Chains A and B, each alone.
Chain A
């Protein structure tokens, strides 16, 4: 308590700096994966992609990021193990942020594929298990999280496989794919609107103080019709945009027109992808920050307290700055590399991945958006939709799991004892 009272302001400033640094890293690197698909398939320009990313990342973080934030904040560590020494929580979360941030920086410079989620989870587990005690870690929860890393790419792959197969049957493999596309695509747009509204209604509105109650019993039953109507609004708006796409036959490829219709759909799925990414990955930066702030404010590890609005703002701002300073460059590099992904594929991959990530966010599971997206793209590939996929990426993903977890943990342990040594 004394230490916290004495150095409280310093801790707060440090936490904000580290949190902002993490968020900056996410904006600079991770968002590129969420938006690169849309840019690569030429559905969006880089400017449009950044604009969408800014708005929907923030919306996702604010409206649906609560569950994952609270998992990072208090789900992995047992707060009761720390109730006597709240300053250990502050040291730990500070070192976790610093460790994850440092590791991401090293990995980025070396060009290794790493995930922010894995770094931060590894770091938190590391400092808690070694710095405090092995019992301080909710191992069953950690087990669930690790399982979700395996399940999420598989689920995303299955979803996008199904989506692309449905497109193949309903639109592409028909007499008049162009008009079929115009007819059926609003249904996919409805899915996007429905999914985002559903998660927002179930998980998001709570902490901004809005409650939707149609008197239908459960929260879920209440949200269902509202989300359906929201989806309908999105679909009608989408159908309006679709009307502007005119047929212009070219000799190059008979499906050029159809792809232009799908490009409109991809604007919507890009929004959902940014929303999903915001809802899951922003928590990596602001979760530890929120833990520190609430400990500093109350002097104890609160099991239940609301996240102050300005923490979300730091997270959102960090991402936006990351995007503006470095992210756009990565987006264009990634986009250039994946030009083989046409809108009819890109949308299936994005919608499959976004749905998976949003489900994980609602359940409070921190997963890797990038790996989920890789799984989704492979799903489309299984449906024989992509000319060439490099399977070596899968082994590099396994490598990143094996290396990132201990690296994040090791650095966090190092920083933890460093802070402990300085502040006592």
Chain B
């Protein structure tokens, strides 16, 4: 009898939890890059292969969650924040997982070996990019607290501070990328040109991952700004 119950039908599925889950999964894919880089530098290609599989599985799961969020956000839903902003947010979050998979894919496919001199810088750069993604996750995890207070007041300020921190982290990765490219430029004459092209590309992709994480924060800010 409850099928026709107006009160029961009034409540739609909350998109908040699925969006948070999605970012969680995307971030997990990015987090694995540290271990992946380490395995690659240790020349442990079996381990790298395993990690690549794990990353792609997270990426696939993120895709699934993304589609589920979209499916459950019909136009007839009345939400406390604009629906388009939520959909946009999920698309950008998904980019983080996509870049993680691309990076691992290229490196594994080309059995890429970075020059010894770049190892330390690359590891630091990767860690910084991943920290950016993690900060984006922390900000997204505030969404349910934001809903609790109706997207106003102190909680908004709190999240805005987190977004500021996120921007700082991203700016740090930009600087690291420049330094890393500078070092690579000095070495590139002695390296096979095709390899060098892909070294640059991996650095670029890592930077894009951090960029996407920052954009998650930007979207969140648009979402809460009113």
Contacts and interface: CB of A to CB of B under 8 A. Distances in A.
Contact of A334 (B7, B147, B151, B153): B7
B8 A388 contact: no
A217 to B, nearest CB: 42
Contacts of A390: 9-12, 76-78
Could you say which of B6, B13, B147, B152 has the most chain A C-beta atoms within 10 Å of its C-beta?
Answer: B6
Contacts of A374: 6-7, 10
B7 A172 contact: no
B77 A391 contact: yes
A32 B5 contact: yes
A340 interface: yes
Could you say which of A36, A110, A253, A340 has the most chain B C-beta atoms within 10 Å of its C-beta?
Answer: A340
Given A172-B148, A173-B153, A388 B4 contact: no
A334 B2 contact: yes
Given A29-B1, A111-B1, A253-B148, A388 B7 contact: no
Contact of A337 (B2, B79, B152): B2
Contact of B2 (A330, A341, A383, A393): A330
Contacts of A344: 148
B11 A326 contact: no
B7 A385 contact: no
A327 to B, nearest CB: 10
Contact of A392 (B3, B16, B76, B147): B76
A33 B5 CA distance: 8
Contacts of B145: 253-255
B155 interface: yes
Contacts of B2: 32, 330, 333-334, 337
A384 interface: yes
B161 interface: no
Q: Tell me if A's interface is mostly helix, strand, loop or mixed.
A: helix
Given A253-B145, A387-B80, A113 B4 contact: yes
A386 interface: yes
B53 interface: no
Nearest to A37: B7
B96 to A, nearest CB: 23
A185 B145 CA distance: 20
Given A370-B6, A390-B10, A392-B9, A108 B150 contact: no
B1 A388 contact: no
Interface string B40-82: 0000000000000000000000000000000000001111110
B1 A377 contact: no
A254 B11 CA distance: 24
Contacts of B4: 107-108, 110-114, 396
Given A255-B148, A381-B80, A337 B8 contact: yes
A344 to B, nearest CB: 8
B14 A385 contact: no
Contacts of B117: none
The contact size tier of chain B is: 20 to 34
Contacts of A391: 76-78
A157 to B, nearest CB: 12
Contact of A387 (B8, B14, B155): B14
Contacts of A108: 1, 4
B225 interface: no
Nearest to A174: B154
A112 B152 CA distance: 38
A28 B5 CA distance: 12
Contacts of B178: none
Interface string B147-167: 111111111000000000000
Interface in A88-108: 107-108
B105 interface: no
B14 A388 contact: yes
Could you say which of B1, B14, B79, B144 has the most chain A C-beta atoms within 10 Å of its C-beta?
Answer: B1
Given A168-B149, A370-B6, A389 B12 contact: yes
A193 B153 CA distance: 31
Contact of B80 (A33, A370, A384): A384
B16 A387 contact: yes
A342 interface: yes
A276 interface: no
Could you say which of B7, B9, B80, B154 has the most chain A C-beta atoms within 10 Å of its C-beta?
Answer: B7
Contacts of A255: 145, 148-149
A337 B12 contact: no
Contact of B14 (A113, A168, A340): A340
Interface in A362-417: 370-371, 373-374, 377-378, 381, 383-393, 396-397, 400
Closest 6 A-B residue pairs measured CB to CB? A387-B14, A388-B12, A173-B153, A111-B3, A384-B80, A333-B2
Given A338-B11, A384-B151, A386-B11, 4 more contacts: A37-B7, A334-B8, A371-B6, A392-B9
7 contacts: A109-B1, A333-B2, A341-B11, A388-B14, A388-B77, A393-B9, A393-B10
